[in-house]
Every structure is written in structure tokens, then in C-alpha cells.
Structure 1
């Protein structure tokens, strides 16, 4: 789920920071740029792990910024396919269930990957699994209550380029409400399943 990734980048230290420790300044700049940001094809960068090398390049003749090439490592999040995780039910819609890990919310268990048979309760605005221990037993309704801990399996993840360049390429019309809404996508999403035995709310299996 968590791993360390090595990255190379060029940073610019403004003149008012020249008197400070170079490593301290680099840590501040890199954390502002990368912490809690999605790196396409890599995952969610949690925070700077360490800096392995700093090489001075030049001083800008425009504003006096010191330009340095930095090699560093970041702690990142990207679970593997089939990994079992525990989160909390954040929201239920007719399309499925949104799950939160606290630091990451873009996890969805679509209706097709919920236990069978499940149905959406319009009044309660939640999903309900009609559970049967045996085919001849009566069914018992098990609710996906908001805020409850849920065990799920990672099915797949997906990266979306939401950079301004990508928006221009897609030619999104700002006056089109539907297009604008569809353009507000998360850069990194995870599809989850709770359809296998042992998955679902932890309270189901503890009682």
C-alpha cells in the first residue's frame, strides 16, 4: 500500500531564503510541491521521505533565485490489485458506495461489486444486503451504514490527467454544465469490491 519512490526535479530558492539552511529550504519547497499530490502513474505522494542529492546549477539573472537539481524520495500510496484494506463508508448513492481511508477518499465500490443480492434503500439512502447463511434460511438485512468500518478488496486503479493542458485538449466548454461537471475528475481513483466472503462491514463478521 505504501512505498518509497525516487524523483529528480529542479527547484528554485528565492533570494529571501538564501540565508537559510539549503537542505531546510529544499525540504520546504519539495513538501509544498509534492505532499498530498497525485503523481500520474505512481500514486498519491504523502510526504517527502529524504533528500539524497542536491546539485547547484545556476543563479537566475531575472530574480536572483538559486537553481538546484535535487534527487529525493517520497513516501507514496498506491495499493496493489487484490490488496485487502479497511476504510470507512463515506457515502452511498444508487451507483455504489464511496469509501474513505481518512487521507484518501476516491475509492468506489460500484453496485455490481456489492454482495448479492443488494439493493439501494431510497428512504435510508444506503445499500442493504439481504444476507442468507443458507439457501433455506430467512434473509437478514445488513446495512452499509455511514461511518462504519468496511473491509474491501482493490480491483483496479485509474489515473486521469487533469492538467490545464489536458483540459485544453479535451476542449471543455465552460458554459456547458454537464461537461464542466464531468471535467472535475479526481486525478487518481480506486475501484473496490466487497462482494467476496469476509468483505463488507467489520461489524457483520464480529457479531
Structure 2
């Protein structure tokens, strides 16, 4: 289902979804938002440590029979190109394909109940039945051009900002900085800097960007 910025109506479509191998963490979270973001960070990091990367956007599976805003039984999943080892925390298995009633929306989790209500009305009106849990797929929209945005107002400020790219420090200085900055920054830094996210954003070309002055 699609939503425009100024229109609260949605378009519902039927789509045949193919089976997909996934790395998955299942957990009961206290709420939507940050607790789920932490789980995505965890599973993305695990996939990266296995020298793998996501083949498409991650998704969440909601196992509760009815909509819940708290204590939600969910799975967070990263699509895989090939199998990787599982452990006691991260499972690896094929998520079944199915005929899905789909909708696309761009908004906060606060609108999720409204979106689900629209889907239920459509299912009932078309004499269909729900046979499995809800899946929420995160679609990463990428514009045609990537624009570098710097926090500056004048040309001189821009040159000062770009000047940091020419700054050199010695190995000893770097070791000292690493020692005093030895802490885990965590989410969202680790998530945004993971190989999986970089591959999705840059199409496996991040390592080829050797001159950041000319984006």
C-alpha cells in the first residue's frame, strides 16, 4: 500500500513473495522503536562478522495475533545470499514464501495500527484470510544523485572542513588516541558503519571512493 505526503489513503496490492534465507533474532521487546533498532544492529553485526552481507532490505516479523504496542513478539531478519553459521542467539533459516497483501507507507510506528486496520478491511472485503504473521520490510530509498552536505555557510568554512582530510597523525599519536577512546559507541554508529549497510547504500563500491573531495 502506498501513501503520499498529503493523502492518508493507501493502495493495497497482492504480491507473490519468494522464499528467502535469513539471519534472524527472535525476542519479546517492550516497545517499538529503539529496542528493535538494537536488535537490527546486533543481527547486522553478526552477519558482517561472518563475511556476508544483506541482499536486500531487512525485515521484521510480528508474531502476535493482534496489534500490540508493548511486549511485542517479533523477529528481526537480514536476507542472506548464502548460508552462514547460526548460534544460540542468531538463527539461520529460510523464511517461507507466500501470497502477501502488501502496502508501502512512510511514517512512524505510531501509524502502524492505522495501516494494519486498512489491510484488515481490504482482506475482509476481498473474502481472504490471514494465514501467517505480519512482515514489515524496510525499503531503503536511494535518490539518483548523492549530494555531500557540509555544515558550513561560507567558502572559507568549507575549505576548513575539507582541510581535516589532509591532517596526518603519527602511529604513536594514533595509539594514544585509541587508548583513551577505547569504548563501544554502539548504535547507531556501529549499524551505519557496518559492511552490510555500506553495501546497501554504496552498492559494494564504498572501498572505491578514494577521494572524498569529489563525491
Pick the TM interval, shorter chain. under 0.3
Bigger helix share: 2
- Report which of the two structures shows the higher radius of gyration computed on alpha carbons: 1
TM-score (norm 2): 0.22
TM-score, length of structure 1 as denominator length: 0.23
**1 or 2, which has the higher strand percentage?**
1
